[in-house]
Structure 1
């Protein structure tokens, strides 16, 4: 794969070259409500009658500058641990947790990231680049993570009751109560466990499977949900505790990504606490041009995240020129179906919702895949978005549990 060489500071897009072929797999989730690509599935008259997620008179403004921080944890120690493991241990990790370690190698271009936030439409939960609308989808993120243990219909939901943080850590680490209790710390308004204690456990635990589990927990807490730098948040352990049952983390990852983007966009700044590595990998996956030559078949061993992480990229494009590039995107500049996706059914609504509500680890948000049907190579129409913006809330107070149950049931 060649490195892009024609992306310059004039605002033009480089020509990426890639060959591939799609292979169809049967869906493991038969009872989901799937989309049949008919352009008139939701008439515009219905949209006009019910309205959309915006209040009357709303005007979306592009800020001149967004002061977004994408401060990351230091992953050097995690990289060194991963490099020391042999192929057998790495295969054990891949089998249970997928391709997450490749996130450690994804470099964050802060200038590109800040430019992306500028074009985030917090009301509709999508990116609007000139005439192009794009959004990360459940199907795309599932393909990037590529974990065989994920069951796409087992969605994470924050339980009203369950094992305490202490018990979850004891179960994950295999350590006794006294050891865990001594290492739980209060960090702001939440409880955490410092990375240094998890690191020591990974290096010394006699059970290799437990080493793998604790390492995976650390990636989730330090890379995927990096709320408290140098620590793994209690809420992350709740999600991680469900992974052994096949629960998919993807909706939760998307929920916190969208919620953090919304917060940064609305406030004109702040610290992004979603998974910047996955978001940038998703972004780059849509800018490959397809050359019609020999086809490449995706095997079960193919890792799109590994390839994206290893691809050299220009890092000297200014934020202003990234802004110009994104503003002037045309349809022909985008590979609408990300190369990592295979043709399959898509999840486009849940229960009585006309869109997809997502439950994260700290809050909920909604997104509408029908806004970006072109990403599925289908015909675009105006979907229902009534109530979409009102779906966003945090898991605090007395009323959120009822709303969580409604979404879980859907």
Structure 2
């Protein structure tokens, strides 16, 4: 989808959502990531290489993602009155209540919508701004906060719904990364639920020597 868009649509995306599309080009090397996870110290929430402790920061993630400047100073916190998943998807996609309700699925404890449905919508939608919004939602759901394979989760729509209110997603991305690394390291196994692409894009990964 991204490669098919002209420069005008891409610039609209950049101005609204920063450099998220670069994550689509970062290949996740599973072997490298498994090695990297072994250096995670869950007690101090940092990577430990001998006597050197390193950890990704809000500033580094903000720089990598190039989040719009008006979002930098406001951290995300869940609002008291949050619209339902149905209402949020209606707002983001511009589709009717009946259309959205028929496509929401329950996967375990999570309500979600299939990426294939959003993909078809992006390709067919006449409104360019809506296409950009739906594609950004998909990147957040499939790459940054990937919980249900091939689906965009309800929790992602909650954060996404507040981006236009000046909220930065970076602290949430970092928090989810730390939480998942801690869980995987303590149990010695498990699926990493976070943005592996951002971790693997850091210059300090060669410290692993592989």
Give the structure 1 partner of residue 172 of structure 2. 252
Q: Secondary structure at the match of 1:247?
A: coil
Q: Which consecutive unaligned segments of at least 5 residues does structure 2 have?
A: none
1:264 to 2:184 alignment? yes
1:227 to 2:153 alignment? no
Q: Give 2:204's match in structure 1, choosing from 283, 286, 307.
A: 286
Change (3 A) 1:287 1:231: closer
Give the structure 1 partner of residue 44 of structure 2. 124
Q: For the residues of structure 2 that align with 1:203 and 1:117, how far apart are their CA atoms?
A: 37
Q: For the residues of structure 2 that align with 1:190 and 1:270, how far apart are their CA atoms?
A: 19
CA contact (8 A) 1:156 1:252 kept: yes
Q: For the residues of structure 2 that align with 1:112 and 1:250, how far apart are their CA atoms?
A: 24
Give the structure 1 partner of residue 134 of structure 2. 214
Q: Give 1:144's match in structure 2, choosing from 64, 89, 98.
A: 64
- The CA deviation at 1:212 is 0.3
Q: Give 1:198's match in structure 2, choosing from 106, 118, 139.
A: 118
Deviations 1:335-394 (A, max 9, x none): xxxxxxxxxxxxxxxxxxxxxxxxxxxxxxxxxxxxxxxxxxxxxxxxxxxxxxxxxxxx
Q: Secondary structure at the match of 1:200?
A: helix
Q: Secondary structure at the match of 2:48?
A: strand
Q: Give 1:94's match in structure 2, choosing from 14, 37, 42.
A: 14
Higher share in helix: 2
Count matched residues.
Answer: 210
CA contact (8 A) 1:97 1:149 kept: no
- The CA deviation at 1:153 is 1.8
* TM-score normalised to structure 2 length: 0.96
Q: Which consecutive unaligned segments of at least 5 residues does structure 1 have?
A: 1-80, 289-321, 327-410
Q: For the residues of structure 1 that align with 2:124 and 2:175, how far apart are their CA atoms?
A: 35
Q: Give 1:189's match in structure 2, choosing from 67, 88, 109.
A: 109
- The CA deviation at 1:160 is 3.3
Q: For the residues of structure 2 that align with 1:251 and 1:134, how far apart are their CA atoms?
A: 17
- The CA deviation at 1:116 is 1.1
* TM-score normalised to structure 1 length: 0.50
Q: Secondary structure at the match of 2:27?
A: coil
Aligned-residue CA RMSD (Å)? 1.5
Q: For the residues of structure 2 that align with 1:239 and 1:151, how far apart are their CA atoms?
A: 13
1:156 to 2:68 alignment? no
Deviations 1:232-255 (A, max 9, x none): 000000000011112100000001
Deviations 1:250-271 (A, max 9, x none): 0000010000000100010011
Q: For the residues of structure 2 that align with 1:106 and 1:184, how far apart are their CA atoms?
A: 29
Bigger Cα Rg: 1
